[in-house]
């Protein structure tokens, strides 16, 4: 863990030095958004230093879940990759000087292979691919985080309702879940996205969230049923604890493990699904970049300019791997029996 | 057994019914209908559009249309494809063989590679070899399938020129003699099947590794070793046999995943199967084709689950008690 923060601090310091000119440029720009990003870039090495100091103390408590996670190499790699991706999404304008949608020279600068000026090359419209991939992270990661939030909320609520109410409510909810799981997901999304036309960020996130909670609600329901047969929950019920107190104090803490694992894996999963939808033509509204539609835009020139499709694919791959590593190590850390 | 069968079949029918209803509502409530999609960008009069709606019953209320659709469905009529001007059953009949061919090839790859890797890993748990393969399977599992397909296309189709880049057959297919036709089909299926199959192989390997490792911790393996059997025999005769049982379940459960993946893979490789048909039908608001393919996908899920249960009961006597 200490090593993690050391590396992060060093990388942040190098970034500040290398991109100092750009940071100054953003600092003097009139927009408050760019100002915040420039200040954020400057603050990163300092934050990493404090993180390093803190982690030296925190890793002492050997029995905690946190300790088990901090010792887990898979978790450190996964969270490192995810942190890197999130930061590059937040600091995209600091890391690159190009506007992701600008088409500076349609004739002279189109489909150029990677070079020092354009590390990821340029696409058919002479746009800088690195800038598009970095800015595309905002769309792709943002959608994933927003829809996983919705997934967790709906999945947990439905699972709790089915598990606690039992009887007819349970039967109806679980048949709905069966139906939801039986519909080919990509087809369902395709139908909705195509028929309602260009979807905004919020609409797409809602759509993805509302079609992903079926699995979680099943897990939560099973867990609730098994918890209710345990003595501490029967005791609480016998003592006349209210329904909400039972949920908040006794059930939810014990549901944290499956929910957090599902959430971590869910982010990667939704990044994949969103990219697939975008690739089929139903993603970020053009010309805004998302990882999936950068690849879609490049299919016509795929064979002559493969770098355009290559780099966003690597970004998706890194995101999914990072979140899978986090999810797997969370599962191992939260459930000692699984080891 | 008979009661189990009846209960499961009723359950399956209920799920399929829910899916059909849901798909029907979703598609019909969306803005636009086949008439508007049909005559988009064409200078046709409102009367013609109204006539078209009347002819195909699109002017009736949603409830009427729904019950008419259900009635037709029960008598085996999937309806008419508006954009292709043919019965839906014909459209599906044409797309299905391509999809089945691709799916069988991909399933073969998934299970052959997945079980070999999983067994090798499970037999040497926590070795360097095991960790390397775990990393590789995780990596394959994390790649977007369409991107993986594009990269394979680039490397093996364009740069090395080993396989054709797209389509299910060559342009000269119909002029070829029989054996050359078979060879041509297999030549074309390699890249899409590998794209679709390797992701599945990663899942099968991860699952199978755990099963083999679990089998190794059991007493009968200790007995086998104590009898003085060679490690080979212990792995193949004892551990693998037990661990193959759950793999049967995987087989049933991977049918639907294959179906979803095939939409993307068929699109990437221009493979004219169900997935591509569905994609095209969605764009043309072709209600009946979309509902029929959704229905088909749902039946695959339900049938996969059902067959997995059934096969499992067949091979493992312990599950018959309930």
- Chain segment A221-263, per-residue pLDDT in tens: 998 988 888 888 888 888 888 888 888 888 888 888 889 999 9
**Nearest CA among B137, B131, B156 for reference residue B199:** B137
Out of B31, B138, B145, closest to residue A324 by CB: B138
**Span A324-334, average pLDDT:** 87
pLDDT tens string B25-63: 888 877 777 777 777 777 778 888 888 888 877 778 888
- Chain A residues near residue B161 by CB distance under 8 angstroms: none
pLDDT of residue A145: 93
pLDDT tens string B276-307: 888 888 877 788 888 888 888 888 888 888 88
| Closest residue of chain B to A175, computed from CA coordinates | B15
At A188, is the pLDDT very low, low, confident or very high (cuts 50, 70, 90)? Answer: confident
pLDDT of residue B284: 79
**Span B106-124, average pLDDT:** 89
> B48 — contact with chain A (CB < 8 Å)?
no
pLDDT of residue A262: 92
Out of A192, A275, A325, closest to residue B144 by CB: A275
Out of A184, A299, A317, closest to residue B259 by CB: A184
Beta carbons of A325 and B139 less than 8 Å apart: no
pLDDT at A99 over 50: yes
Q: Å from B300 to nearest chain A CA?
A: 8
pLDDT at A194 over 80: no
Beta carbons of A320 and B294 less than 8 Å apart: no
Out of B22, B30, B263, closest to residue A179 by CB: B22
pLDDT of residue A61: 58
pLDDT of residue A156: 94
Out of B285, B290, B298, closest to residue A182 by CB: B298
At A339, is the pLDDT very low, low, confident or very high (cuts 50, 70, 90)? Answer: very low
pLDDT of residue A63: 63
Contact assessment for residue B286 and residue A197, using Cβ atoms and an 8 Å cutoff: no
pLDDT tens string B197-230: 998 888 888 888 888 888 888 888 888 888 888 8
- Chain A residues near residue B267 by CB distance under 8 angstroms: 279-280
* DSSP conformation class of B228: T
Beta carbons of B31 and A196 less than 8 Å apart: yes
Beta carbons of B15 and A182 less than 8 Å apart: yes
C-alpha dist (Å) from residue A146 to A92, A207, B169:
20, 11, 43
- Chain A residues near residue B207 by CB distance under 8 angstroms: none
Which pTM does this prediction carry? 0.86
pLDDT tens string A109-133: 777 888 887 888 888 887 888 889 9
Residue A19, CB-side half-sphere exposure with 13 Å CA sphere = 23
C-alpha dist (Å) from residue B173 to A63, B91, B270, B322:
67, 21, 16, 53
Average pLDDT, chain B: 83
- The C-alpha torsion from A17 through A21 and A23 to A24, rounded to 10°, is 120
Chain A residues with at least one Cβ partner in B under 8 Å = 175-176, 178-179, 181-188, 190-192, 194-197, 268, 272, 275-276, 279-280, 292, 295, 299, 302-303, 306, 309-310, 312-313, 316-317, 320-321, 324-325
Out of A187, A295, A302, closest to residue B154 by CB: A302
At A322, is the pLDDT very low, low, confident or very high (cuts 50, 70, 90)? Answer: very high
SS (H, E, C) B62-116: HHHHHHHHHHHHHCCCCCEECCCCEEHHHHHHHHHHHHHHHHHHHHHHHHHHHHH
Beta carbons of B138 and A268 less than 8 Å apart: no
Those residues with Cβ within 8 angstroms of residue B274's Cβ, 6 or more apart along the chain or in another chain: B92, B95, B96, B99, B259, B262, B266, B293, B296
pLDDT tens string A254-288: 888 889 999 999 999 999 999 998 888 887 887 88
Contact assessment for residue B289 and residue B81, using Cβ atoms and an 8 Å cutoff: yes
Which ipTM was obtained for this model?
0.85
pLDDT at A62 over 80: no
Share above pLDDT 90 across residues of chain A, in percent, rounded to a whole number = 22
pLDDT at B239 over 90: no
- Chain B residues near residue A309 by CB distance under 8 angstroms: 147, 150-151
C-alpha dist (Å) from residue B195 to A137, A305, A323, B136:
25, 21, 22, 15
Measure the CA–CA gap between B57 and B2, rounded to whole angstroms: 42
Average pLDDT, chain A: 85
pLDDT at A155 over 70: yes
> B153 — contact with chain A (CB < 8 Å)?
yes
pLDDT of residue A102: 78
Beta carbons of A186 and B256 less than 8 Å apart: no
pLDDT of residue B50: 83
In chain B the first and final C-alpha atoms are separated, in Å, by 10
Phi, psi of B81 (to 5 degrees): -85, 115
- Chain B residues near residue A320 by CB distance under 8 angstroms: 141-144
| Closest residue of chain A to B17, computed from CA coordinates | A179
At A60, is the pLDDT very low, low, confident or very high (cuts 50, 70, 90)? Answer: low
In chain A the first and final C-alpha atoms are separated, in Å, by 21
> B293 — contact with chain A (CB < 8 Å)?
yes
């Amino acid at each position: 863990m200490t090593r993690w923060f050391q590396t992060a601090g060093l990388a942040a310091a190098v970034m500040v030095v290398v991109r100092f000119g750009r940071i100054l440029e953003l600092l003097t720009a009139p927009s408050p958004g760019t100002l915040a990003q420039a200040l954020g870039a400057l603050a990163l090495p300092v934050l990493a230093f404090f993180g390093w100091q803190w982690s030296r103390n925190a890793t002492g408590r050997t029995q905690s879940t946190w300790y088990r996670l901090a010792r887990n190499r898979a978790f450190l790699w996964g969270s490192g990759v995810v942190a890197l991706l999130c930061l590059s999404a937040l600091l995209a304008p600091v890391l690159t000087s190009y506007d992701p949608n600008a088409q500076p020279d349609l004739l002279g600068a189109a489909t150029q292979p990677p070079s020092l000026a354009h590390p990821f090359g340029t696409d058919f419209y002479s746009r800088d691919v690195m800038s598009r991939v970095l800015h595309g992270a905002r769309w792709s990661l943002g959608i994933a985080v927003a829809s996983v939030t919705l997934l967790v909320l709906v999945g947990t609520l439905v699972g709790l309702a089915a598990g606690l109410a039992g009887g007819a409510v349970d039967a109806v909810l679980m048949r709905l879940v069966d139906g939801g799981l039986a519909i080919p997901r990509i087809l369902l999304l395709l139908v909705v996205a195509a028929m309602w036309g260009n979807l905004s960020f919020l609409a797409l996130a809602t759509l993805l969230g509302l079609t992903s909670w079926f699995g979680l609600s099943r897990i939560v329901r099973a867990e609730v049923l098994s918890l209710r047969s345990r003595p501490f929950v029967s005791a609480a019920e016998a003592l006349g604890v209210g329904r909400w107190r039972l949920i908040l104090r006794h059930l939810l803490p014990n549901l944290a493990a499956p929910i957090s694992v599902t959430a971590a894996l869910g982010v990667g999963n939704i990044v994949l699904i969103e990219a697939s939808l975008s690739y089929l033509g139903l993603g970020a509204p053009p010309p805004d970049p998302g990882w999936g539609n950068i690849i879609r835009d490049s299919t016509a020139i795929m064979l002559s300019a493969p770098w355009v499709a290559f780099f966003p694919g690597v970004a998706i791959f890194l995101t999914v791997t990072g979140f899978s590593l986090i999810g797997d190590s969370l599962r191992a850390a939260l459930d000692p029996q699984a080891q | 057994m008979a009661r189990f069968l009846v209960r499961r079949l009723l359950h399956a029918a209920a799920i399929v019914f829910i899916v059909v209803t849901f798909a029907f509502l979703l598609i019909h409530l969306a803005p636009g209908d086949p008439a508007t999609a049909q005559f988009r960008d064409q200078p046709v009069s409102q009367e013609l559009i109204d006539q078209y709606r009347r002819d195909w019953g699109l002017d009736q209320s949603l409830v009427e249309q729904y019950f008419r659709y259900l009635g037709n469905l029960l008598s085996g009529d999937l309806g008419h494809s508006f954009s292709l001007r043919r019965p839906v059953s014909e459209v599906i009949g044409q797309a299905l063989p391509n999809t089945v061919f691709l799916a069988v090839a991909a399933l073969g790859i998934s299970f052959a590679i997945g079980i070999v890797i999983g067994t090798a890993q499970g037999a040497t748990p926590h070795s360097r070899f095991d960790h390397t393969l775990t990393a590789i399977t995780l990596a394959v599992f994390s790649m977007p399938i369409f991107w993986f397909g594009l990269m394979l296309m680039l490397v093996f189709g364009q740069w090395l020129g080993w396989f054709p880049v797209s389509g299910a057959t060559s342009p000269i297919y119909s002029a070829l003699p029989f054996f050359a036709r078979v060879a041509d089909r297999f030549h074309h299926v390699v890249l899409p099947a590998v794209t679709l199959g390797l992701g599945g192989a990663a899942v099968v390997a991860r699952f199978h590794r755990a099963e083999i490792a679990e089998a190794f911790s059991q007493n009968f393996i200790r007995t086998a070793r104590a009898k003085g059997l060679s490690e080979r025999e212990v792995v193949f005769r004892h551990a693998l046999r037990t661990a193959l049982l759950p793999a049967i379940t995987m087989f049933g459960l991977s049918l639907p995943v294959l179906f979803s993946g095939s939409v993307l893979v068929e699109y990437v490789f221009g493979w004219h199967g169900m997935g591509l048909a569905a994609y095209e039908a969605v764009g043309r608001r072709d209600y009946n084709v979309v509902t029929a393919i959704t229905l088909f996908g749902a039946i695959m899920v339900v049938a996969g689950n059902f067959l997995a249960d059934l096969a499992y009961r067949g091979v493992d006597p312990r599950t018959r008690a309930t």
